[in-house]
Amino acid sequence: MELLSTLSLGFSVAMTPANLMYAFVGCFLGTLIGVLPGLGPVATIAMLMPATYVLPPVSALIMLAGIYYGAQYGGSTTAILVNLPGEASSVVTAMDGYQMARKGLAGPALSTAALGSFFAGTVGVLILAAFSTPLTKVAFKFGAAEYFSLMVLGLIAAVVLASGSLLKAIAMTVLGLLLGLVGTDINSGIPRYTLGIPELTDGIGFVTIAMGIFGYGEIVMNLGRTDMDREIFTGKMQGLWPTRKQVREVTPAVLRGTLLGAALGILPGGGAALAAVSAYALEKKIKMAPDEIPFGQGNIRGVASPEAANNAASQTSFVPLLTLGIPPNAVMALMLGAMIIHNIQPGPLVMTRNPQLFWGLVVSMWIGNLMLVILNLPLIRIWIKLLTVPYRFLFPAIVLFCAIGVFTINNNTFDIWMLGIFGFVGYLFGKLGCESAPLLLGFILGPMMEEYLRRALLLSLGDWSTFVTRPISAGLLAATVLLIVIMLLPAVKKKRAEAFTEE
């Protein structure tokens, strides 16, 4: 079978001692970067590229890929331990992950995230290897109208995420949408709400907002509580592994997350964030076991599913890369660039022209995933120990790393100012009881939604019916309506019950 031969070719390339070492170095560096809040793989890969010129191309790419994956794993770690989501998909992980950490369950949270991600990554690689070409044909059917409907579905899912007041969650999502619109409007080229500041013409950075609201906001909230309340991490630490019961709860969640993530990752521009949000929303709507912790307070399914989803999506996001030569995100664009420097022509023909490079890379990514699980599991013990460091030492470190991390994105101090401003905003939200996760999700999905809406209308020459006459788009919108109905049903029932009992 062709699958076996390509995979074995890949293994033969990836398993040489030299390449294994490069993979390890990459994973290690990546984890380090991922753990440090704010610091991102793009800046690092860019800086390390000259060092890779002397390496053979496959090895260079393997190392850079290791950095990419390592950063994702590391990012989940910080999201769970200190509530600092380093990238869009970790926002969802942070929600229940951090709550688990506060209850002394950091170990199981981290190990579940790692193992769930590994499983999802494996499935993702298999799908990638076996089904790339037919899957692209599906992806081609997605035009602007379909993407718009998908984004709407994602937004409703983001509202479902919230555990507090529904109205406030919707308002936060809308606020996130508005903040996402700051910057240059792609359809007209005009800067909006930038107040004449050049640094804002590309919008507010996601990392800046996330670090400010989640990072600084949380720190000030913590310091503001009296010493009595400030038990950051209470109770006994459970230790590394999830209990058998937890594993039983988590397995179906991981499966669901993997499937959802793999499907959404195929669409260029679909992305890991959307996958994570949808997976979490799906889990939340599934009937809960009687003794399960509610979502938002440390439910382990709420960690496992989004993590599996975003890792599966990261893998399958290589499908457009393979078949179309289109990089799914900035890091991949950089990797393609690295290939160019090494005199390899990226593009759809790399698969056939340079099979050992291509499959070696794919397999090494799976090996990278494996290495990261092996690397990270023992590290979890160290991270847990880190949590016992007195908070008065921990928080200045967090403040520092957020500031440096944000600076390295654009080499511009303006980002540090924005960080401070959003720190204040984050504290304000915390004080007023507004949840920040829907805001961040609105922030990510908003601009995309507008872009697709306007492009769909451009292409249909102003005809709104395009959203329902195109079959896939219509289907997605129907699913959205269904989701809204499911969401409102319990509220309606409750209101009715209240009305009856109050009489």
Partner 1 sequence: MRIKNQKDFASGLMFMGIGLVFAVGTLFYDVGSASHMGPGYFPLLLGVLLTALGVAIALQAVVLKTGAGEGIGSWAWRPLVYILGANFVFGILLTGSPGLGLPTIGMIVGIYVLTLIASLASSQFKIREVLILATVLAVGSYMIFIVLLKLQIPAWPYFITG
Partner 2 sequence: MHQFRKTVLMTLCMALVVAFGVAAPMNFVQAAGPAFPGKEIHMIVPWSPGGAVDMTARMIQKIAAADGIKIIVENVPGATGSIGLAKVASAPADGYTVGLATTSLLALIAQDMTKVRNEQFSYLNQVSIEQLLMLVPKGGPAQSLEEFIAYMKKNPGKVSIGTPGNNNLNHIFAAMAAKTAGVDFVNVPYPGASKAINDLSGKQIDGAVLKTSESRGQIEAGMVMAVGVFSETRNPALPNVPTFKEKGHDVFPYGLLEQICYLVGPADLPADVSAKLVSIFKKALAHPDYAKFAKDNGFTNSDVNSEALRKKIYSMQKGFNEAAPRLFKKK
Residues within the interface to partner 2 (CB under 8 A): 42-43, 45-46, 49-50, 53, 139-144, 184, 186-191, 198-199, 201-202, 268-269, 320, 324-327, 330-331, 333-337, 340-341, 343, 345-349, 410-412, 451, 455, 458-459, 461
Cross-strand bridge partners of residue 183:
192
Q: In the complex with partner 2, which residue's Cβ is closer, 108 or 346? A: 346
Q: In the complex with partner 1, which residue's Cβ is closer, 79 or 457? A: 457
Partner that binds at residue 445, options partner 1, partner 2, none, CB closer than 5 to 8 Å by kind? none
Using CA atoms, how far apart are residues 8 and 26, in angstroms rounded to an integer? 22
Using CA atoms, how far apart are residues 208 and 210, in angstroms rounded to an integer? 6
Q: Which of 111, 143, 210, 195 is nearest to 436 (CA)?
A: 210
Residue 245 touching partner 1 (CB under 8 A)? no
The 3-class SS string of 185-250 reads CCCCCCEECCCCCHHHCCCCCHHHHHHHHHHHHHHHHHHHCCCCCCCCCCCCCCCCCCCHHHHHHH
Partner that binds at residue 42, options partner 2, partner 1, none, CB closer than 5 to 8 Å by kind? partner 2
- Residues 6 or more apart whose CB falls under 8 angstroms from that of 306 comprise 89, 92, 93, 257, 275, 276, 277, 279, 280
> Quick one: which of 7, 14, 23, 33 contacts partner 1 (CB under 8 A)?
33
Site for partner 1 in 362-401 (CB under 8 A): 391-393, 395-397, 399-400
Scored b (16 or more CB within 10 A) or e, 129-166 reads bebbeebbeebeebbbbbbbbbbbbbbbbbbbbbbeee
Shortest distance, CB of residue 333 to partner 2, whole angstroms?
Answer: 4
> Quick one: which of 431, 493, 495, 496 contacts partner 1 (CB under 8 A)?
431
Q: In the complex with partner 2, which residue's Cβ is closer, 108 or 320? A: 320
Residue 216 touching partner 1 (CB under 8 A)? yes
Angle between helix 90-102 and helix 271-285 axes, rounded to 10 deg? 50
Backbone angles phi, psi at 192, to 5 degrees: -115, 135
Are the beta carbons of 173 and 449 closer than 8 angstroms? no
> Quick one: which of 92, 281, 367, 403 contacts partner 1 (CB under 8 A)?
403
Q: In the complex with partner 1, which residue's Cβ is closer, 325 or 420? A: 420
Partner that binds at residue 326, options partner 1, partner 2, none, CB closer than 5 to 8 Å by kind? partner 2
Shortest distance, CB of residue 311 to partner 1, whole angstroms?
Answer: 24
Reported as type and span, the H/E element at residue 183 is: strand 183-184
Contacts 24+ apart (CB under 8 A), 388-393: 388/233, 391/222, 391/230, 391/232
Count CB neighbours of 501 within 10 A: 7
Site string for partner 1, 408-427 (x = CB under 8 A): x--x-x--xx-xx--xx--x
Are the beta carbons of 65 and 365 closer than 8 angstroms? yes
Query: Segment contacting partner 1 (CB under 8 A): 160-168, 339-347, 354-362, 378-386?
Result: 160-168
Q: In the complex with partner 2, which residue's Cβ is closer, 286 or 330? A: 330
Angle between helix 271-285 and helix 244-265 axes, rounded to 10 deg? 130
Q: In the complex with partner 1, which residue's Cβ is closer, 123 or 403? A: 403
Partner that binds at residue 346, options partner 1, partner 2, none, CB closer than 5 to 8 Å by kind? partner 2
Partner that binds at residue 168, options partner 1, partner 2, none, CB closer than 5 to 8 Å by kind? partner 1
Contact residues for partner 1, defined by CB under 8 A: 29, 32-33, 36, 39, 43-44, 47-48, 51, 165, 167-168, 170-171, 174-175, 177-178, 181, 185, 187-188, 190, 192-193, 216, 219-221, 223-224, 227, 391-393, 395-397, 399-400, 403-404, 407-408, 411, 413, 416-417, 419-420, 423-424, 427-428, 431-434, 450, 453-454, 457, 462-464
